[in-house]
Structure 1
Amino acid sequence: MSQAALRQPPATEATNDAIVEVRGVSKIYGDVEALRNIELSFARGKLTTLLGPSGCGKTTLLKIIAGLVPATSGEIRVNDRVVTGPGPERAFVFQDFALMPWATVMRNVGFGLELRGVREAERKRVAQHYIDQVGLSGFENKYPHELSGGMKQRVGIARAFAVDADVLLMDEPFSAVDEQNRRKFQEDLLKLVEIEKKTFLFVTHSIEEAVYVSDRIVLLSPRPGRVSQIIDPKIDRTATPDEIRRDPGYLDTVENIWDGLRHYAE
C-alpha cells in the first residue's frame, strides 16, 4: 500500500510549485546556535512535517516562517515575497490554543477577520462555516473555560482556517489531547487538507503522527538543527485509517525513522 522514499536533501532544494522557500536560514540565541543554514522548499497544497529530537529547532523554524521570530541570517520567501513579519497569507495554530478567555467560540474563530475590518455578518458567516467543519456546532456561544482541551484546539484550528491564509503553520497542535482524540484530530485534519487545498507546515514529536498525516517529512538533526533527511511516506489515502496504521509500509517507515532518532533519545 505504501512505500516510503527516503533521500538525502540536496545542497539547495527548490521546486517549481514551492509556496514557501527557506533560503540559508540560521538562528542564534546568545551563545546557542539553534539552526544552521536551512535550505528547504514547501510545495503548494501539501502537508509537510518537521520532525526531530527535542531542541533541534522545529518550532523555531516554524516561528521564523510565520514571521514571529527573525532569522539571524538567510531569508524566508512566501509566494516569492520576503517575509519581514507576520502576514495575512500565513496563519499559526499554537500548541497552547492562545484563545481569548473573555470571547465566545464564535468571536474567537472570527477574530482574525474582525482585525481585518470584515463586517460582522460576513465574519459570523465564515466563522460558522469553520465551526461546523471542526465539529463544534452548538458551542458558538461557549467560552474557553467551558470547553475541553480538544475543543479549545478545534477553535484554534477553525480560527486559522477562517482567515483564508495560504499557509497554515501548526505547532504540535494535538499534543495536549489524549490518544483517542489525537487520532480523531489526525483524521479530521486530513479531511480538511483535502477540502481546503491549503499548504500545511506541521510540527510534532510523534513519529507515528508524522508518517500518518504527511505528504513529506523533513527530519532535522540535533542542535544546531540542519536538514538531515527528507522522507516521502507515500501513504495510500484511499485506504481506511485502520488499514493505513496496519500497513507494512507505514509501520516500516515509522521504524526506519525511529532507528535514525533512537540514539538522540534522552
Structure 2
Amino acid sequence: MNAIAPLAFAAPSKVTDSVVAVRNVSKLYPGGVQALEDVSVDFPRGQLTSLLGPSGCGKTTLLKIIAGLLPATSGDVLVNGKPVAGPGPERAFVFQDFALMPWATVLRNVAFGLELRGTPKTEREEISRKYITQVGLSGFEERFPHELSGGMRQRVGLARALSVNADVLMMDEPFSAVDEQNRRKFQEDLLTLVANEKKTFIFVTHSIEEAVYVSDRIVLLSPRPGRIAEIIEPDINRDGDADAIRRHPVYLDTVDAIWQSLKTYLD
C-alpha cells in the first residue's frame, strides 16, 4: 500500500488554544479492520479544520470518536481539557443525512436540542428563529422536512447544531447531497458562520477544492489505517470577495499539491 508523499508546505503553526485534543487514538473494528492508528492532533478555537484523505482512511470514524458516538480502541480525546466518554453539550453534530424528524416543523426540528435540555419553549423558539434566519430559512419555520429541498433540509440541520451553542460543531460531508451551485453557496455561508460564531468547526469532506476553500487547517490522513500524513494551513485571506479565493494562487497551488500527493495512492 502506497503512503501519501509529504507535501511541500511549511510546518503548521503550534496550536496554543486547543479546544479538542486527540491523543494517540487508534480504532480497531470487529473483524480486524484497523481504521485509525496512533492519531494525535489538535483543533484550535475559532477555526475550521477539515479532515481529508482517501476513502476508508477513517475521517468519519475520527469525527464520531470526537463526538462521543464511537469509542476509541485506545488513546484519548479531550474537549476543553476534559476526557470524552460519550456525547456532551459542548459538541454538536451535523449529520450527512440531515437526521430530521419528519413529523416536526422546521422550528421544532431546530429547537429539538434545546427542548432536550429543558429550555423553556419561548426561549428555545426565540433562539431557533435567530438561527433559522441566519441560515437563510426565514419564512419556512412552519414547513415540514418533506416540503423542503435537500439543501434546505441541510440548512435546518446546521441551524439545529448552532442553536445549542456548543463549543464544537462537527460536520460529516454536510454538502455532499446538494448540487454544485448550492454547494458553493453553502461554502460561502459556512465561511461567514465561522467568522461570526467563533466556534471550533471540524469538517469532513472528500473534496480537495472544498477543503482548501473553507479551511483554516487541513488534516490530511493516510490510507487505512488512518494516520496524520500532513497538516496544511492555506495562507488565504478570506475577508474579501469569496469568489476571489478560488482564483487565489495559494488556493490553486494548494489544491494541486494535495492532489499530487493523494494520487500517488491511486496509482
- TM-score scaled by length of structure 2: 0.94
Deviation at 1:264, TM superposition (A): 2.6
1:114 is paired with a residue whose SS is: helix
2:101 is paired with a residue whose SS is: coil
Deviation at 1:240, TM superposition (A): 1.0
Matched positions, count: 260
Deviation at 1:14, TM superposition (A): 6.7
CA distance in 2, matches of 1:164, 1:229: 31
CA distance in 1, matches of 2:247, 2:199: 28
User: Does the CA contact (< 8 Å) of 1:7 and 1:229 recur in 2?
Assistant: no
Letter paired with 2:149: S
Q: 2:186 matched to 1:185?
A: yes
User: Does the CA contact (< 8 Å) of 1:14 and 1:40 recur in 2?
Assistant: no
Letter paired with 1:211: V
CA distance in 1, matches of 2:115, 2:265: 44
CA distance in 2, matches of 1:181, 1:187: 10
Deviations 1:15-71 (A, max 9, x none): 331010001000000210000000111111110000000000000000000000000
| Partner in structure 1 of residue 23 of structure 2 | 23
Alpha carbons of 1:8 and 1:32: their partners in 2 closer, same or farther (altered >3 Å)?
Answer: farther
User: Does the CA contact (< 8 Å) of 2:47 and 2:216 recur in 1?
Assistant: yes
CA distance in 2, matches of 1:244, 1:180: 16
| Partner in structure 1 of residue 90 of structure 2 | 89
Letter paired with 2:21: E
| Partner in structure 2 of residue 162 of structure 1 | 163
Deviation at 1:263, TM superposition (A): 2.6
| Partner in structure 2 of residue 248 of structure 1 | 249
Alpha carbons of 1:52 and 1:8: their partners in 2 closer, same or farther (altered >3 Å)?
Answer: farther
CA distance in 1, matches of 2:65, 2:136: 31
| Partner in structure 1 of residue 50 of structure 2 | 49
CA distance in 2, matches of 1:64, 1:14: 23
User: Does the CA contact (< 8 Å) of 2:8 and 2:257 recur in 1?
Assistant: no
Q: 2:260 matched to 1:263?
A: no
Alpha carbons of 1:60 and 1:7: their partners in 2 closer, same or farther (altered >3 Å)?
Answer: farther
Deviation at 1:242, TM superposition (A): 2.0
User: Does the CA contact (< 8 Å) of 1:168 and 1:200 recur in 2?
Assistant: yes
CA distance in 2, matches of 1:26, 1:260: 24
| Partner in structure 1 of residue 75 of structure 2 | 74
1:6 is paired with a residue whose SS is: coil
Deviation at 1:238, TM superposition (A): 2.4
Letter paired with 2:28: I
Deviation at 1:8, TM superposition (A): 6.2
CA distance in 2, matches of 1:145, 1:97: 12
Residues 190-205 of structure 1 aligned to structure 2 (within 5 Å): 190-205=191-206
Runs of 4+ in 1 over 6 A off after TM superposition: none
2:40 is paired with a residue whose SS is: strand
Letter paired with 1:152: R
CA distance in 2, matches of 1:6, 1:231: 7
| Partner in structure 1 of residue 142 of structure 2 | 141
User: Does the CA contact (< 8 Å) of 2:111 and 2:163 recur in 1?
Assistant: yes
Deviations 1:72-129 (A, max 9, x none): 0001000000000000000000000000011000000000000000000000000000
CA distance in 1, matches of 2:131, 2:240: 26
CA distance in 2, matches of 1:243, 1:45: 23
Alpha carbons of 1:22 and 1:201: their partners in 2 closer, same or farther (altered >3 Å)?
Answer: same
One of 6, 10, 21 as aligned partner of 2:9: 6
2:9 is paired with a residue whose SS is: strand
- TM-score scaled by length of structure 1: 0.95
Letter paired with 1:207: I
User: Does the CA contact (< 8 Å) of 1:55 and 1:223 recur in 2?
Assistant: yes
Letter paired with 1:117: G
Structure 1 gap segments, 5+ residues each? none
Cα RMSD of the aligned pairs, angstroms, is 1.5
Deviation at 1:235, TM superposition (A): 1.1
| Partner in structure 1 of residue 4 of structure 2 | none
Structure 2 gap segments, 5+ residues each? 1-6
CA distance in 1, matches of 2:167, 2:257: 32
Deviation at 1:5, TM superposition (A): 7.7
